[in-house]
Structure 1
């Protein structure tokens, strides 16, 4: 009799313990879920809060509904995807009224894209120039952050000049128009706009082309605004693209309008030659594109730089002047480089120009060197990706 009671009490105690354990587990899981929900909501709040000052500062910027953008892009269909950058994907869309748009959508996994997107809204919303891409509006809905631009049907400059087939569609007059257009866009950014903007990532893929192949500078996520009479600054966060960065900026974080001038010079040499600076290797002398152009200039044979696709349509004096201007832009010392007002002026006349000095980052890599580490290269021309956080040393 006593043993039966003991067993019943033992069973009751076991059930109580099991109930306590189950309750503890359920309570713990509930708290964990609440914590996760709180963190997600807090993250969303931070993301939306980061854009509150943008909305206040840029009230003239139209706001697009998420449903309208989703419908325009086929619910962000992969068939409408134009490309992808560090911020996230870009989609082509057609609004209900028939207007074509390009939608830059911030990736939800992007760590630094939010700041770059915000930077782009603040800067480009205030800039209006025929050689800058036009920002039509933005879409901000919970954790969705998007910018809506005018659509450029001919994509970007690199799509043409680095492709052997499409490059044949561009004669010298079109190339010259693109060079002058980029120069005028940079002149506006550096001097004529309400703000003084250093783009910091001028390269072929950031130059978009409209129906008539007119150039428009795009991607202001890395741009830096100077205020008042400020003309230069130092930064510990070097951003840009290898092969286009000036020596003083890549090595010491020294930033000025001459940073963009150097990038412009590299771009001009790429347009003339049809070669990428960061991928070019001379078969005999092991030089990059800057070194190859410099050696040809010293030898007195700069016309050998011209891409064969442009040979029949080239204005020799214009091509020589563009090569000359480019070499002035990529000189080692920033004080030796011309500024954009001077560049625009000398591209349009035939006045004598000073002789260029040795360019920066022109020495090729030692052919015996097998290590591909950027720390052991003599030039910054091996990496195709844009950098968003490179500490200056």
Structure 2
């Protein structure tokens, strides 16, 4: 069981690390200051200049699409190796997009690559791989407990050569972005007479299809995350060609499992990067600030706090790498409980480290003068995104109990 990087990829990782530190992080503050200028849901000229300029530099340097693990289209990284790259990208909010490794695009690109028709690949996958457009994945619904995907109920009824969609989706991450051009939507195509996992399907819907109405951006602790956004969307008699269904009716769960596993662990990899940057900020603050005649590091239990944060980050990283290793073995069923474990652990650890860093900064830590408050808000959503903690703990417990019983758990 190897958790290391091949030698040729160590140099590649160093190039990514240097670009993040030297070119991306210095522009973070200016980029985010642009959001409140004019229409929050459009990129300002300067914002676009920063983002597209960084993307162009990354692409020109060949630092692009690292997420294409075990693929001849990318660098052929293993999932274990990609974990180190994703961790570095997680240290800055701009990191993933600059290298074209953003959610939900990576998961959607995998869907198009694995399950899409040649027409879909040309129309949607190609511009996504080039970083020219963005996409959204629409699964969660406001009126059902969507952590149990068998509840997904958006109506999708065949009418001749078209499907007609009616219903609502929310928390459609990225759907607020003006560059978002396509949705992959989980819908219900089968009746209750079918087996429970054969009732849902996935369908590709262009974002400008008539009948689609963006009702509102969902706010996360009072923040709308513009211009990315997590949108609440209504579909009213939205018509798409029957050829837009992926794999055929009733294959939604099959596709979802192929999509969500990598997406879940990619979030965890980036969360570890956020933990690292928060610990770095905490340590620097503790050595620069004085109170009661001493450095903050020497006051109270701050030595212990810093030590505990370091140890918990290391444990989370090792668990993440082990889950990645299981994914690399190609057995999705064997990897699933490990993915669930790290999906619970990584956000939990990141939240703790970020919160301790906030404490070290005092009132400044919850203000706009540090990135810590927005980082905490972002990571807190990860305890719900791609399945809440309780669902993943249930999966871990079921896998554990199966070792000792033949009964269905």
User: TM-score, structure 2 length as denominator?
Assistant: 0.27
- The structure richer in helix per residue is 2
Bigger Rg, structure 1 or 2: 1
